[in-house]
Structure 1
């Protein structure tokens, strides 16, 4: 494809494939029930659309920068802050990697057994040890290079995306195809059913919504390949927001048809997507076929994501690492070019998070919920650097040119960047509050609160130690 030939709908579709998945619908329904429909509309208008358009301007302004967010930060502020942006981008993947082995186990458990017994019957210790073994095997394999797996994983990712869309079509169409289908959630025909209760408990779940719509910075390389970025990029992002909105609203509506909003199953985050396809298979008379297809593709997709997410963020952090901030030991490569100590650090940190639940969580359902929530607290931390770079860009707007601008007035643009920054920070901080009932399990509540606070703090502090070690290297040299 020639330069300047991408149209707004093409970029919108590429971005949709990057950002969206069925897990976003299931996890947020598990936390908010059917009222999440209203939450989706609010998060798209107040946060996601400005976020995507901000990314577009940064991508257009720094079109020759290869380092993504860290390059944007370096261009608008300092090398030190750029290092911290690169560190944050890498380190937030640690809890993400810790969850992948469990998701692989659950997927293949459903594919082989046809049920969620792995989640319901295994002990936390058993699942933890198996998950640790799976992770260490793939850590070792990823040092060898896994191009075939990444290609297969890319195909599986596309298949999962298709299945996510199919789920919505089948669920929404089920009442028309099968007159015996009854809605699990009562009063789905009344507007009041969809209005959330905006209390403290509600705001502790917002981080999951932010986590779901994050990742728009991946579209930045496509901005300058468009035919007319200034006019077409906003169209593409509004098209993206419309697709996410329709998928989120209809997907949540479909979940409400299948699972009672006032009696959400405890294992919905772990087993919800598989149970949903199983129920749809029964409605359409194809048994477990839909569930098995989804379980196999999702299992392969999770394996690929595990392998890819060990290697890719590490390469971003260390490929062109500044010796002033990253010590020589971490930049060390083997004869084959493998970042030996980088993989070792990844292995240690992920193994700690995999093993941690053995000391405070008693069942797998809580374990899956805790790790999903931990990811919703930690992963959005990298988006803070996007909004920081955008604010700095607008402070020094006279020094930069861009084919596409989200907002031409730099003061108003700065205010949008500040709003997105503060909203993300607010969501992350309140997301640390445990979702487990304190009265029912105070031990799990305190464990989750402590781990939700300590994990991001320790991961960031580790990044502050490396420049000190790099300075010692320089002094010794």
Structure 2
């Protein structure tokens, strides 16, 4: 479940498209300076609050109080709601690549419904089906998520195996030349040449590792969570960091940046399929196979990664349609909500709250699909707001850790024993996250894209204000 939630080959191809080999350095920095220490912190939280049903809400409330927990968790929940909106639509592109070897969704239509409207309706149906299945219990969620994670690991091995064949056949000569040590620090992408743009890539690295806190919402369903959760996070952290670095390096042996990536037809939405198609094609070329067989291998690899992406997306979707809303609703004071919101169904799931979330997601998808050009702008605004909002909750989670330690809550797993060095590490991680967020907001200003800059920066501020108002209203209503 950890691997299915966190790791994605799409993050590898995006890093390569943005930074080529240089992306490896930032993923290592992000892994060592952010992901690994955060995993250990989340493991301590999970060990201490192993019976808590509220996940990160319970962690924050038990450390820095209910109001800040409410605000931090609401920002976190909003970012994942926007992720569900995006993924429910993007899933059909993945399915198209699996069935046809390329994205054909632009030509999909039924009667008077164009491709955008049809994809919107399919996305809404998908959200409803996932919500219904997830509301029927945690066992189904774990099976789907575990299968998705296992399939992604298999695709990693296929990628490594095919890359090794290409490397050996080409006598170790990479398709993307390595021109000294600067290759691992300087991007060939003209959009990532300035120091601010390069540092803003930290947000991509953080997002590549985002999601480990979601598993905190299922610790109450784990066997021996005080030991299982820390062990799983530690193993998952090592595998995830190692996989990202290895995959970026191996991508360079089959994919030349200027010939394959630097094309107008290649974007962050389809670059994963472009990379895998090229890998299959180059493996055939390296083995001296015919052009037709090479193209067949390219199409085969495209379909395989599409299947892996589909399984991984399904696994992540089933986790994220449940754990964020559960952490937020079930972790908070029940007096803040109407009784039916916190009521569990016979499967032990907050079904009503999950269906409310499904309605909100469906309404947003409908507005985007049927709202014309104005809707496209609206969706872009949502995306911009979600980018930084995804990273902002870590400011709360990491910043609350010293307060959590001072509580001396009994826990079997303790990674940080020295209070002074813990504070140093906390400030270090906080600075990294904050710098990544700040430079992500500044970069559009330097490009004179003031609208994107505004909505990118306003995301966590807007969601934080909404949470503040909701909390004050709910607390007054509860007292009344």
TM-score range, shorter chain: 0.7 to 0.9
Aligned to 1:7: none
Mapped to 2, the partners of 1:310 and 1:76 lie a distance apart of 26
Specify whether residues 352 and 228 from structure 1 end up closer, same or farther in structure 2 by C-alpha distance, changes over 3 A only.
Answer: closer
3-state SS of 2:352 partner: coil
Alpha-carbon offset, residue 211 of structure 1: 0.9
Mapped to 1, the partners of 2:181 and 2:35 lie a distance apart of 24
Aligned 8 A contact 2:6 2:211 in 1: yes
What CA deviation, in whole Å up to 9, does each residue of 1:375-404 have, x standing for no partner?
A: 54222223223212312123x25x334433
Within a 5 Å distance, the mapping from 1:7-26 to structure 2 comes to 15-16=2-3, 18-26=5-13
Aligned mate of 1:139, from 113, 116, 127: 127
Within a 5 Å distance, the mapping from 1:384-395 to structure 2 comes to 384-394=395-405
Aligned 8 A contact 2:54 2:330 in 1: no
Aligned to 1:173: 165
TM-score (norm 1): 0.77
Mapped to 1, the partners of 2:305 and 2:168 lie a distance apart of 23
Matched, 1:155 2:164: no
Aligned to 1:211: 207
Matched, 1:382 2:393: yes
Aligned to 2:287: none
Matched, 1:50 2:37: yes
Mapped to 1, the partners of 2:412 and 2:339 lie a distance apart of 39
Alpha-carbon offset, residue 319 of structure 1: 3.4
Mapped to 2, the partners of 1:281 and 1:74 lie a distance apart of 50
Aligned to 1:4: none
Aligned to 1:192: 182
Aligned mate of 1:470, from 465, 474, 478: 474
What CA deviation, in whole Å up to 9, does each residue of 1:52-82 have, x standing for no partner?
A: 2222222233333332221121222212223
The CA RMSD measured in Å over matched residues stands at: 4.0
Aligned 8 A contact 1:69 1:385 in 2: no
What CA deviation, in whole Å up to 9, does each residue of 1:30-60 have, x standing for no partner?
A: 2222211222222223222222222222223
Unaligned runs of 5+ in 2: 187-192, 285-292
Aligned 8 A contact 1:154 1:301 in 2: no
Mapped to 2, the partners of 1:374 and 1:459 lie a distance apart of 9
3-state SS of 1:145 partner: helix
Aligned mate of 2:26, from 28, 32, 39: 39
What CA deviation, in whole Å up to 9, does each residue of 1:147-202 have, x standing for no partner?
A: 698545642442133213422332243131467x974423x262221123671110
Matched, 1:30 2:17: yes
Alpha-carbon offset, residue 16 of structure 1: 4.5
3-state SS of 2:166 partner: helix
Mapped to 1, the partners of 2:470 and 2:4 lie a distance apart of 35
Aligned mate of 1:422, from 427, 431, 439: 431
Aligned 8 A contact 1:324 1:467 in 2: no
Matched, 1:112 2:116: no
Matched, 1:252 2:248: yes
Aligned to 1:264: 262
Matched, 1:338 2:338: no
Alpha-carbon offset, residue 453 of structure 1: 2.5
Alpha-carbon offset, residue 276 of structure 1: 2.1
Mapped to 2, the partners of 1:96 and 1:243 lie a distance apart of 24
Mapped to 2, the partners of 1:162 and 1:372 lie a distance apart of 31
What CA deviation, in whole Å up to 9, does each residue of 1:201-237 have, x standing for no partner?
A: 10122101011123333566489657799xx959x83
TM-score (norm 2): 0.77
Unaligned runs of 5+ in 1: 1-13
Within a 5 Å distance, the mapping from 1:215-230 to structure 2 comes to 215-217=211-213, 221=219
Aligned to 1:11: none
Aligned 8 A contact 1:34 1:256 in 2: yes
What CA deviation, in whole Å up to 9, does each residue of 1:83-139 have, x standing for no partner?
A: 2233233222122112113321221221233223547999xx966434432332233
3-state SS of 1:116 partner: coil
Aligned 8 A contact 1:36 1:252 in 2: yes
